[in-house]
Each structure stands twice: as structure tokens, then as C-alpha cells.
């Protein structure tokens, strides 16, 4: 018999109350979003309070302005994440059921879509208030990994987005898997790589090496680090069901027995963009008088 680690069967809700016939519940996933945004907010505020971290010891904006920026980012995350899921993962279903597109409480958010939403929202905000865009990008890159880590832990608690079948000793059987197979707890792999490891590296770069003095380096590192982390984890993560309709491996694009999942396909451009940003930032800094 294969050794497995028993899955700690969490409730997806921290608590639920009923008021006037309506049930209100606080779910782990919602708490992860809230906590991630608050932690990111405080990380940016503390960095803005330290002029030595910025070019010419001039922070890109006053700390009090981060609260206003947070509102724009929340809107970008929700709209981008939902539209990304609709367009990238289940376009046919939502074309047939357009009334469900805005039903975010039923689940269905894509990180890459949410990320694009944040980029657009922050770019618009920076343009409106004349904030240096690369410094804004560095600040947001520093703040993001904490939210990623908490979000992946919430995925684990919700027993969703689990990994491929495996016989490793730390495999788990998730209650939401109707096949009842031992699987990789890939949500925890992502929390460790995209969140803890990448976040630790970026915080060390900001506070230990003060690389924010060269605008763009931190943002490029985030793109590169997230793209690589997600690409690696996708080898262990179960693909979405609709991709198994085309081939038994769940690939989105393939040639023969070799292929890449949708997550890997979307992560490769992030790796390329990250490398480009780092090279551009370093060369731009080297030609300054």
C-alpha cells in the first residue's frame, strides 16, 4: 500500500452567519485576498518611508497615496482575473452562458488575467498622477509574492487546483477528487516557489541590496521568477478538464508526446519579458551621466 499524508479536511469557510434569511460567510480565499492586499500595502508604505531605497533618495509617491492606489489595484485584480479565466480557460462555456461571466462568487479567476489587470490599473494610475512607472512597478513587484503565497495556501485549504497523480511519499488524496487518486499537493509547491522563495529574494534585493535605486530590476526579477516558478510547478499540477478533451496529458499546445500546459504557455512570455526588463534597466542605468 502506498504511503500518503492524510489531507487535513478544512472547511472552506471560517465562519457563517445568517441575517434576515441570508447567509454570509467568510471564506479562506477571500481572507487570503484581503490579507495579501493589506500585507502588500504595508510593504509598499514602509519602502516609501525609506528614501535611501529610491533613486536620488526621492520616493515615487507619498505613503498616504498608497491607499488610493490600492482601490485601483483591487478593481484591476477582480476584472482582469475574471476576464482572464473566461477568455483563456472556458470561452465556449461563457459564450453560451454570458450571464455567468460576472458571477465571481462561483469561482474562476486566472492569475495571468489578474496580473494584466493590475498592470493596466497601475499604469493608468501612474499616468494620472505623474508617478515614475518603473518605480511603481518595482513597488508592486515587492508587494505581490505575499498575496500569491496566501492565495495558494487558500487553494490548498479549499482542496482545489491539486496536482497530477503520483506515488511520492507526501502525496495526498483530496476530497474534491472524484477519482480518489494520490496527488501532488502542487498548491503548496506554488506557495513555496511563487510566494515564499520569490518574495524572500525580492525583499533581500530591496532592503539588503537596495536595487530599487535602479528602476525596473525588481519588476523584471518578479516577471522572471514567477514565470520560472509557474513553469516548473505546471509539471506537477493537474491541467483544467477541458484540455484533456484534446489529449491525455492535458496540454494546451503539443507536438507528438511533447507539449506544454496552458499555465506554461502563459508563463513563457513572462520569463522573456522579465529578462528583457532586467537587461533594459541595467543598460539604461549604465548610460546615465
Binding residues: 152
Nearest CA to 218 out of 228, 205, 230 is that of 205
User: Are 117 and 15 a contacting pair, CB within 8 Å?
Assistant: no
User: Are 196 and 149 a contacting pair, CB within 8 Å?
Assistant: yes
Q: CA 137 to CA 220: how far, in whole Å? A: 9
User: Are 28 and 9 a contacting pair, CB within 8 Å?
Assistant: no
User: Are 88 and 116 a contacting pair, CB within 8 Å?
Assistant: no
What secondary structure letter does DSSP report for 19?
A: E
User: What's the sign of the alpha-carbon dihedral 272, 269, 228, 205?
Assistant: positive
What is the Rg, in whole angstroms, of the alpha carbon atoms belonging to the chain?
A: 20
Q: Which three cell numbers stand for residue 251?
A: 496540454
- Where do runs of H (alpha helix) occur along the chain? 28-48, 66-88, 91-96, 111-129, 133-157, 186-190, 198-203, 217-233, 262-286
Amino acid at each position: 500500500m502506498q504511503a500518503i499524508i492524510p489531507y487535513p479536511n478544512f472547511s472552506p469557510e471560517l465562519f457563517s452567519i445568517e441575517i434576515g434569511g441570508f447567509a454570509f460567510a467568510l471564506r479562506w480565499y477571500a481572507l487570503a485576498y484581503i490579507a495579501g492586499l493589506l500585507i502588500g500595502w504595508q510593504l509598499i508604505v514602509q519602502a516609501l518611508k525609506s528614501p535611501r531605497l529610491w533613486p536620488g533618495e526621492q520616493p515615487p509617491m507619498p505613503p498616504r497615496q498608497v491607499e488610493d492606489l490600492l482601490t485601483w489595484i483591487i478593481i484591476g485584480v477582480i476584472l482582469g482575473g475574471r476576464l482572464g479565466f473566461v477568455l483563456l480557460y472556458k470561452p465556449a462555456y461563457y459564450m453560451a452562458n454570458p450571464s455567468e461571466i460576472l458571477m465571481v462568487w462561483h469561482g474562476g479567476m486566472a492569475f495571468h488575467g489578474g496580473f494584466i489587470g493590475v498592470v493596466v490599473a497601475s499604469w493608468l494610475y501612474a499616468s494620472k498622477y505623474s508617478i515614475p512607472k518603473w518605480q511603481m512597478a518595482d513597488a508592486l513587484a515587492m508587494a505581490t509574492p505575499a498575496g500569491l503565497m496566501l492565495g495558494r495556501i487558500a487553494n490548498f485549504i479549499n482542496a482545489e487546483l491539486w496536482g497530477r497523480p503520483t506515488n511520492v511519499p507526501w502525496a495526498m488524496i483530496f476530497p474534491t477528487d472524484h477519482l480518489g487518486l494520490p496527488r501532488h499537493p502542487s498548491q503548496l509547491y506554488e506557495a513555496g516557489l511563487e510566494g515564499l522563495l520569490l518574495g524572500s529574494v525580492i525583499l533581500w534585493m530591496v532592503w539588503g541590496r537596495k536595487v530599487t535605486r535602479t528602476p525596473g530590476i525588481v519588476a523584471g526579477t518578479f516577471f522572471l521568477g514567477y514565470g520560472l516558478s509557474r513553469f516548473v510547478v505546471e509539471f506537477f499540477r493537474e491541467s483544467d478538464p477541458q484540455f484533456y478533451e484534446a489529449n491525455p496529458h492535458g496540454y494546451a499546445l503539443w507536438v507528438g508526446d511533447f507539449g506544454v500546459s496552458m499555465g506554461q504557455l502563459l508563463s513563457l512570455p513572462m520569463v522573456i519579458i522579465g529578462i528583457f526588463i532586467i537587461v533594459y534597466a541595467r543598460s539604461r542605468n549604465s548610460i546615465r551621466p
